[in-house]
Structure 1
Amino acid sequence: MIKWEGVMPAVTTKFTSDDKLDLFMFEKNIKAQMESGVHGIILGGTLGEASTLTQNEKEVLIKETLLITDGKIPVIINIAEQSTTDAIAVARHAESVGAHGLMVLPPMRYKATDFETVTYFKAIANSTSLPIMIYNNPIDYKIEVTLDMFEDMAVCENIQAIKESTRDITNVIRLKNKFGNRYKVFTGVDTLGLESLVIGADGWVAGLVCAYPAETVAIYELVKVGKIKEAMEIYSWFMPLLELDISPQLVQNIKLAEVATGIGTENVRAPRLPLQGVERERVLGIIEKAMKSRPILPDYKNLK
């Protein structure tokens, strides 16, 4: 059972300089997330460079995360597979090792029809008892999960949440108007984080949270108690950093930010490479400016 609400980081995978898993820095980051009050951990997404990981590395990361979190917050495994058979295998394995939920993308590489996409999601849902979040991101994955498709999937009780990344913020309201609390809605776009929460999103699957967990959770908690002005002050400071998430190089960008806050390294796995030249200087400039003006946060864990 997952309480689908709050801030859930799509965490990065840490690598050593010789391209091995850096479990020391990975643990340091996960602990920083937990200390800041995040509400769950999402493993194996785009930000986690999942497509470059071996099956053994994925196993290690799942087991390590379950060990570090020790049942205090849910651990959610991302599914982004090319075949339904493979997706079901990942779902069943995640359940067998003790994961608490799944985040499921549409079929990869093949642009499935609406019917094929719904059939794919239903097949995964029917193969496991784990609760599921559907990731709706037509910008990056070319398949939009429409309101009609969500209505069709409502028969699957374990499909419970939506990561809303269409970039059309009004979709949060459309989903809430049509389904009420049948589905919990998370924003999946960092630069729409506060706005989405204000108009009714239940949570935020975030990227820059990987480097700035306290600031991200503070925004969520302030909005939750109606302190919009206080949340806006943090969010305004945060925006130049949040824009680093909406880029093909979001992994490199966010890892540079993790270096600045001491909870990561910039090591990425090829074909990704560390940022170079003018673009590297631009991103470092944004991070440096933000670090010099980092806000003093209220006691966001004890708001009333």
Structure 2
Amino acid sequence: MTPENAPESRWSDLDRPPLSESALRHALLQEGGLWTSLDIVPETGSTNSDLAARAASLPQGAVLVAEEQTAGRGRLDRTWSAPARSGLFFSVLLKPGPDIPVERWGWLPLLAGVAAASGLARAAGVDMSLKWPNDLLVKVGGEERKTGGILAERAGEDAVVVGIGLNVTLRESELPVPAAGSLALANAISTDRDPLLRAVLRSIEQWYRDWRSAGGDPGLSGLQTAYAAGCATLGRTVRAELPGERSVVGEAVALDGDGRLVLSTEGGGRQAISAGDIVHLRPAD
């Protein structure tokens, strides 16, 4: 068989080695820790869909990672795809329990954003920020670009699956849209996916424990303050596009106790926009 028609090997792109399932399990699956299982699959449609389908039979803390996602989803069923082993594509299963009011579960995607941004800032050495409600941003040549997204979905009555997709080594020629970015394009000091994944999962574990210990209260847990501090949306004038071709324009001034973005509108009014209601959030210009 000639090199031209040989099947692709998991080592065919030496800049993108496979994740080590055994090393990740050894590092993350600790007695008394949040993470209870970790599985890596070569390819799947959506880690969120796969994990949600098994949520009833799995304990809290299950982690599913895919080397490649062919039908990754964002909010409003927007698609997310990238070359094999070019990023981190994974979902985690969380079961907050009856002690956490269901209305506070809406903070979980924002918690994942804070945890991912802080964990990656340390492990990759990049300055990351958050675009409300679910995007991770890096700067490439001084321009903010989306390098990751978060999607949280209910899985039955007692569980939430939180999925994260992150571009790690995506090259300029591989970007799906010009506004996309990657850690490599942001000059990360490391694009080794094993320590990056460990950093994000450990950060999620710490923030989740603090949030649960505070009864899911975003103020007492420090989550509300941390999100606001890292949110690039605050202080900017934006246009919130809503269903039915409606829109609201105003300065993003705060994040309220329900995780909604508060806009200061013309005339001095204020309007809170929820993540579930918004179609797009764009700069007002």
Give TM-score, length-normalised by structure 1: 0.25
More strand by share: 2
Q: Which has the higher contact order (CA 8 A, sep 6+)?
A: 1
More helix by share: 1
